[in-house]
Structure 1
Amino acid sequence: MSALQEREAMFPALQASIERFTSEMSTIDEMVHVLLKGHLLLEEALALIIDQHVFHRENIADARLTFAQKLNVARSLCLRKNNLGEWELVAAINGLRNDLAHRLNSPDRRKKLDKVKTIYFREAADFGRIDLIKTQSDHEIIFAACAHCAGFLATCAEDLRHLRQAIYEIDRNMNSELPPFEL
């Protein structure tokens, strides 16, 4: 018996772990790839919304907010868009991502994916190409859902950028003797 065979015989759990790792790493799950990147982009967009309201961002960074906390804070800061269904879609994408991030072969994957798809198809019902998107693969639908949310969050951030400019103008009028506030 070779040294390798001896080790394999002594450590069957190690061998099983190596085999599973090799198996999982030898394939690319496109939906997971798209979901993880899309989730990161949505988290950046949520941070941008919050950043439009704070004047000392380091304090927010030090708070180490979770995605769900950023979602709720950002939603609370949006004047007229706080009750739109896109917030539910962002939350569903986060739920799917959390499930997949903690269990590669989650039994809830299909249920959470279907929830994302249902909400996305409802919120994008007026989009001219939604019927075509419905026929695409899961990773392409997740891509479209994340892109939809990213666009929505960009409009929220733009609204708040205008508010931020108004605050700067008020500050200049109230504190003309002080240097302008800059980030």
Structure 2
Amino acid sequence: MKNRIALLVLFLFSATIFAQEGVKIGIQGSFPFNDFSDAVVLSAGVDLGYMHALGEVVDAGVMTGFINGFPDNFDGGPDLPSVQFLPLAGSFRIWPSNSFSFGGDVGYGVGINDGNEGGLYYRPIIGYLFGTNTEVNFSYTGIQLDGATWSTVNVGILHTIQVRPRRL
């Protein structure tokens, strides 16, 4: 099931990326809490996606990326492995004004490290556009795993590469 979802999202991403309208590239820093707060100190990620304007207020598209949770290896205990995910998600944004957006990503977070099966991925997000193509965003990332939830609070920067200018 995990492989079929991953292939479907990758197919949709590769089928739409050739238009080059609204390619999103970003980075994020995160603080884990709840189930992983003892094992992971900090998390960082990169985002890559494509958004298409469905009108003047709503954008929809696909997103992927990479998330790495850095383990707490500073207390002299055993070396812990990094926790890693590859999110594959559908994405939407609502723009109530020219500079403020909210929305979310929903899909599957593929577990990359050993023993990590991944799970349902969701990420509600609030963004503020400054300049014409750069956005600062705040979000929560949740990945439902067997018996645990990967939970992080994130701050990130996202840059949009546009071939055609966005109509405001």
TM range (shorter): under 0.3
Q: Which has the higher strand share?
A: 2
With structure 2 as the length reference, what TM-score do the two structures score?
0.26
RCO higher in structure (CA 8 A, sep ≥6): 1
> Which structure has the larger Rg?
1
Q: Which has the higher helix share?
A: 1
